[in-house]
Amino acid sequence: MRTFALASVAILLFQPVWAADAPMFRNNSQHTGVYDDAGKTAFGGVKWTFHAKGAFVASPAVVGDTVFAGSADGFLYAVNRGAGTLKWKFETKGRVVSSPAVAGGIVYFGSYDSTFYAVDGATGALKWKFTSGGERRFAAKHLHGSEPAAEVMPDPWDCYLSSPVVSNGKVIFGSGDGNVYALDTASGALQWKFKTSDVVHASPAVANGRVYIGSWDTFFYALDEATGKEVWRFKTGDDFDIHNQTGIQSSAAVADGTVFFGARDAHLYALNAATGAKKWATSTKGSWVIASPAVGNGHVYVGTSDTGLMFDFEEKTGKLVATIDLKGWPLFASPALAGEMLYAGSMRGEVHAVDLATHQVIWRFTTDASKKGAAAYAKADGSLDFGLIVDSSFYDDGVGGYLKLLGLGAILASPVVADDVVYVGATDGNLYALAVKAGK
């Protein structure tokens, strides 16, 4: 009995102790993208890599000893946090490009099979599922100036599904059917739904009894969390010709009574969270804002698509503090803020670690696919040459250009930081655990 007891104590002593979790997209229901980590400055190597048969597009959730991540191969994976080994997987009938939310031992996520799932976090067993009115991507005629002009084209850059937020016994998310849904977390029963005029693939943020979410119909909405009733709406720009700079793909962040979000009209907006009145807006000079902003330390950090720039704005005024050039590779992944460090993924297949004291990139992690192929699409200075990605205005060639970028192990998923590890998925089918440490 004594030998058994000593062995049991030894096992307990050597079990990893996890101090920090990241249970949902952007870490909290306000979606500020701020993580409870010191933000150490040196790269400590790849702790582990987990491979799936499809791309990782959405962000992982990290709770206890498990990392939960969905893949384009149709599975939600539960991966051992310490070793990177498979614990279980749950199969859907569509791409899982919705970041999961974990609450009360249940994992909530959506799939392109038009179904929203709740599964047991320990076993992967189905708890319940809810079927929406049908997923689809944003679509329009003459999209991005593509030919043939009269054809309705789905937008390949509409690459995410809405990621759920769990709050006050409800799980809330948007859908390609144009609705925002609130379901009972225990049963999946519909509590309320709110209808917009187009696809809703932005993720909702919740603060002070309000739900904040944008739609491809160009409106940003504040809804009553309890009832789903509209409190206010705000109109962003439109593009009636080629539908290039229209709609809201970015998810919102709420901090200090202000809601921040980007739009494809090439603006970052700061609105009064109570009234919807505009506090400030800043132009990104024609480049989409797909990434969700990170808000902390009195600053707002957000990346752009075409120009591949990371901006640092004063939270209260919108004044530009600094511009960080990440070499013109589109930034769809939302940045993660930990202490004085910012982690940002790009479509080149790189994770950039930025020291916010100097606004300098102090280390980069590059996927193997990017190391092998990115140079073929780069200019002499390392920036993206769009002419090598898309060589004609025909729609199929535009889709082909998007797929070329995905083939480079692009980082579309937002990094997650917990206990000195940056967890991030890539389109090469790999989920990476990147260690960080003190030092240079």
Q: At which residue do the structure tokens 């109570």 appear?
A: 274
Give the DSSP H/E element, type plus range, for residue 10. helix 2-13
Question: What is residue 440's predicted lDDT score, i.e. its pLDDT?
Answer: 67
Task: Find out whether 247 and 232 touch, Cβ atoms under 8 Å.
Answer: no
The torsion of the CA quartet 93, 97, 99, 104, rounded to 10 degrees, works out to 0
Tell me the mean pLDDT per 10 residues along the chain, length 440.
Answer: 44 62 97 91 96 98 98 98 98 98 98 98 98 98 97 97 98 98 98 98 98 98 98 97 96 98 98 98 95 97 94 98 91 96 96 96 95 93 90 95 95 96 98 91
Task: Find out whether 425 and 57 touch, Cβ atoms under 8 Å.
Answer: yes
Question: What pTM does this model have?
Answer: 0.95
**What Å distances lie between residue 359 and 20, 183, 325, 416, CA to CA?**
26, 42, 10, 20
Q: What CA–CA distance (Å, rounded) separates 376 from 366?
A: 15
Q: What CA–CA distance (Å, rounded) separates 343 from 423?
A: 11
Q: What CA–CA distance (Å, rounded) separates 422 from 352?
A: 11
Q: How far is CA 407 from the centre of its chain?
A: 19
Q: What are phi and psi of 402, to 5 degrees?
A: -60, -45
Q: What CA–CA distance (Å, rounded) separates 162 from 114?
A: 12
Q: What is the CA radius of gyration of the chain?
A: 21
Q: For the chain, how many residues are written?
A: 440
Question: What is residue 276's predicted lDDT score, i.e. its pLDDT?
Answer: 98
Structure tokens at 223: 């809804």
Please report how many Cα atoms fall inside a 13 Å half-sphere around the Cα of residue 19, on the Cβ side. Answer: 9
Question: What is residue 2's predicted lDDT score, i.e. its pLDDT?
Answer: 45
Q: What CA–CA distance (Å, rounded) separates 61 from 195?
A: 28
Q: What CA–CA distance (Å, rounded) separates 170 from 173?
A: 10
Strand partners, 278: 271
What is 24-437's CATH topology? Answer: Methylamine Dehydrogenase; Chain H (2.130.10)
Reference 120, options 192, 41, 63, 195; nearest CA is 63
DSSP 3-state of 122: coil
